[in-house]
């Protein structure tokens, strides 16, 4: 039996020790954020925490590297736009 987290309203299964990013790629999800300037889609590039391309919001904390964050059962993972903190804009 594998555990799952929620990604943009759907269930994504993961196996023990996988990161959020690895589980998303395994589930066929290629991108989960858009860039600030041109709104381009991005997902995992370097896979080892160097490039910060795979930023994602996990449990309401934005800008986490999906390739480093361990997947956790019941976590709420959301794709993010731009800086991931648009709700704070004044």
Partner 1 sequence: MPADVLVIGAGVVGAATAWYAARSGHSVTVVDRGPVAGGTTGAGEGNILVSDKPPGAELDLALLSSGLWRDLAVEVGGFEFDPKGGLVVAATPPGYEALVSLASSQSGAGVETVVVPAGELAEHEPHLTPSLAGGVLYPGDAQVQPMLAAARLLRAARARGATVRTGVEVTGFLRSGDRVVGVRTSAGDLPAGAVVNAAGTWGGDIASLAGVDVPVLPRRGFILVTEPLPRLVRHKVFAAEYVANVASDDADLQTSPVVEGTESGTILIGASRERVGYDRTLSVRVLRALAAQAVALFPVLADVKVIRTYRGFRPYCPDHLPVIGPDPRAPGLFHACGHEGAGIGLAAATGRLIAQLLGEEPPSLDLAPFRPERFGPVVAP
Partner 2 sequence: MATSPYDVAVVGAGPAGLAAAAAALAGGARVALIDAGRQPGGQYWRHRPGDLGAVADLHHDLGAFRRLVAGAAGAVRHFGQHVWTVSGSAADGFTVHAVAGDAETEVPARRLVLAPGAYDRQVPFRGWDLPGVHTAGGAQALLKGHEVLVGRRVVVGGTGPFLLPVAAGLAARGARVAGVYEANRPAGWIRHAGAVLPVAAKLTEGAGYAAALARHRVPFHTRQAIVAAHGGDAVEAVTVARLDHDWRIVAGSERVVECDAVAVGWGFTPQLELPLALGCATRVDADGSLVVEVDERQTTSVPGVHVAGEACGVGGAALAVAEGSIAGVAAAGVTSAPASLRRRRRALRRFAAAMHAVHPVRAGWQSWLADDTLVCRCEEVSAGEVRTALDELGATDVRTAKLLSRAGMGWCQGRVCGYATACLTASCTGTAPDLRGVSERPIAAPISLGTLAGDPGHIGQQ
- The site for partner 2 (CB under 8 A) is made up of 15-19, 22-23, 25-26, 30-31, 35-38, 40-53, 55, 63, 67-68, 70
Query: Which one of partner 2, partner 1, none interacts with residue 30, CB within 5 to 8 A by kind?
Result: partner 2
18 vs 63, beta carbon nearer partner 1:
63
Query: Which one of partner 1, partner 2, none interacts with residue 89, CB within 5 to 8 A by kind?
Result: partner 1
Report CA 22 to chain centroid distance, whole Å. Answer: 10
Residue 24: left if φ>0, alpha if ψ -120 to 50, beta else—which one? alpha
41 vs 86, beta carbon nearer partner 1:
86
> Cα(35)–Cα(10) distance, rounded to whole angstroms?
23
> Cα(22)–Cα(14) distance, rounded to whole angstroms?
8
Sign of the alpha-carbon torsion through 47, 64, 41, 26: positive
Instruction: Please report whether residue 6 would count as binding partner 1 according to CB under 8 A.
Output: no
Name the residues that contact partner 1, by CB under 8 A. 36, 61, 63, 82-83, 85-86, 88-90
């Amino acid at each position: 039996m594998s555990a799952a987290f929620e990604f943009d309203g759907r269930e994504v299964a993961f196996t023990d020790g996988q990161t959020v990013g690895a589980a998303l790629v395994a589930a066929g999800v290629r991108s989960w954020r858009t860039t600030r300037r041109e709104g381009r889609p991005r997902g995992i590039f370097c896979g080892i925490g160097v490039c910060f391309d795979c930023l994602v919001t996990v449990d309401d904390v934005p800008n986490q590297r999906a390739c480093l964050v361990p997947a956790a059962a019941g976590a709420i993972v959301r794709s993010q736009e731009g800086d991931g903190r648009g709700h704070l804009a004044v």
